[in-house]
Structure 1
Amino acid sequence: MTVSPIPIFIGYDPRERAATNVLIDSLYQHSSAPLAITPLVTPQLEAQGLFRRERDPKQSTAFSFTRFLVPYLMGYQGWALFMDCDMLCRGDIKALWELRDDRFGAMCVQHEHVPGETVKFLGEVQSAYPKKNWSSLMLLNCSRCKKLTVDYVNTATGLELHRFHWLEGDHEIGALDSGWNHLVDVQEAPAASASNGGPRLLHWTLGGPWFRQQRTMGGVLAAEWFGAREDAMKFWE
């Protein structure tokens, strides 16, 4: 029996290389299924002629818009998972993959996040808009996302992209359990581990402990991230 790897695309920002590496290791360490992980590196996409937007003043990461190229990169076939790099996986990503539902064009955790702050990590602007953080983790039914052409991704407004205007309507957005995209220091800190019903994916949307200025972001969750980094760097004698 042939088993296809789960296609996972990760938003990549050179300032968050440590976060990306730890996330990738955490995905592999907890997964019961093979994974095919692709970081979305902006210069590579630019070199291929797929991304040509000038940086938007409201754009806080290098992958704010490149995430929407995933259906194109998949040839508009099958499903794929996109996630921001500022996450840590604590559970089996195969369990999320099994939630795919063909009734929808995209599935995500539907946060009700209205940021109170105006500045994110490293002085980046914190923008408030409906569906905030919804696009930070998306299960994409690529054949239903054909409006996300290269031209559309390069010319649509940020709000059109992040508010899912490329689908026919909100009825095409399926809801995922909040444990698959827990917003650290935005939502109440989880009392339980992933194995005891706590969140399976932690998301440092305000900036994480890989930044020198934010070593304690998330409190005990910051310590958990450093523990995961130590595990990822461990070698056996």
Structure 2
Amino acid sequence: MSAQTYAQPLPIYIGFDHRQAVSYNVLQFSIFRRSSKPVTIAPLVLPSLPITRQGLTPFTYSRFLVPWLNGFQGWALFLDTDYLCLADMAELFALCDDRYAAMVSKNEKRFEWASMILFNCGHPANRVLTPDYIEDPQRCRFPHTMDWLPNELVGDLPREWNHLVGYDPPRNDAKLVHYTQGMPVFEETSGSEYSDHWKLEHQAANQTRGWVELMGHSVHAGATADGRKVAKLHPQSVVR
């Protein structure tokens, strides 16, 4: 197990795609409301990063910047945007093993290994992952196969931490659900496994209680002649 003690928030980086921002919003909400420890969640927004290289998504290559973004220190997690978290991220970080430079779920679809990566950012083997290296297709050719690392430096995580909907056999104990063929928000994938879980999370992430409950007892509230609570921005309605 890792000798590192997590006194600081757990650093999590999520690929961001402006074409489907709803996926990022639901994922980050599902993470922080289940975590028993503080987390920092950073979206990898390509225009704000020191590379321009992209593929099917804007974060196809920016994921490999995580060790550099984390100052080549500690452990940090990368996730594709199309996940749902159903467990405590502290449980995942507890699996960090300093023998490895990176840890992934080595499922049968090797092209999906890099969709969730626990990076040992301080490991010397990850020092190659600089912006210049990642931007160069001649040097950084097949990073999604973890080709910058020897096999013995890539650890294996339990399959429930990267359950591939539509590829892996169905299971009821997935901790990170990966809608790799498309989130349930799309008509084409609306009936997929764990689709109801995603839709409930989306609803929870975009709800709010009423104004009276949240603000009715604050200094920003006034009352009408019949005692109703109203915002002071409507002075004509407030009894002075």
- Tell me which of 191, 204, 207 is aligned to 1:234: 207
Alpha carbon RMSD of aligned pairs, Å? 1.7
| Aligned residue in 1 for 2:106 | 110
TM-score (norm 2): 0.80
- Looking at structure 2, the residues matched to 5 and 37 of structure 1 have their Cα atoms a distance apart, in angstroms, of 9
Secondary structure of 2:111 counterpart: coil
- Tell me which of 7, 12, 16 is aligned to 2:16: 12
Does residue 43 of structure 1 match 2:47? Answer: yes
| Aligned residue in 2 for 1:224 | 197
Shift of 1:235: 1.2
Stretches of 4+ aligned residues off by more than 3 angstroms: 156-159
Larger Rg: 2
Secondary structure of 2:198 counterpart: helix
Amino acid in the other structure paired with 2:151: D
Amino acid in the other structure paired with 2:25: N
Cα distance per residue 1:167-201 (max 9 Å; x no partner) = 2x0000000000000001111222x2xxxxx0101
- Looking at structure 1, the residues matched to 95 and 59 of structure 2 have their Cα atoms a distance apart, in angstroms, of 25
Q: Higher relative contact order at CA 8 Å, sep ≥6: structure 1 or structure 2?
A: 1
The 5 A counterparts of 1:75-224 are 75-113=71-109, 131-144=110-123, 145-156=126-137, 159-167=141-149, 169-190=150-171, 192=172, 198-211=173-186, 213-219=187-193, 221-224=194-197
- Looking at structure 2, the residues matched to 217 and 205 of structure 1 have their Cα atoms a distance apart, in angstroms, of 14
TM-score (norm 1): 0.81
The count of aligned residue pairs is: 203
Query: Is the 8 Å Cα contact of residues 185 and 217 (structure 1) preserved in structure 2?
Result: no
Shift of 1:217: 4.4
Query: Is the 8 Å Cα contact of residues 16 and 86 (structure 1) preserved in structure 2?
Result: no
Secondary structure of 1:171 counterpart: helix
Cα distance per residue 1:125-157 (max 9 Å; x no partner) = xxxxxx210000000001221011111100136
- Looking at structure 1, the residues matched to 160 and 104 of structure 2 have their Cα atoms a distance apart, in angstroms, of 11
- Looking at structure 1, the residues matched to 94 and 43 of structure 2 have their Cα atoms a distance apart, in angstroms, of 22
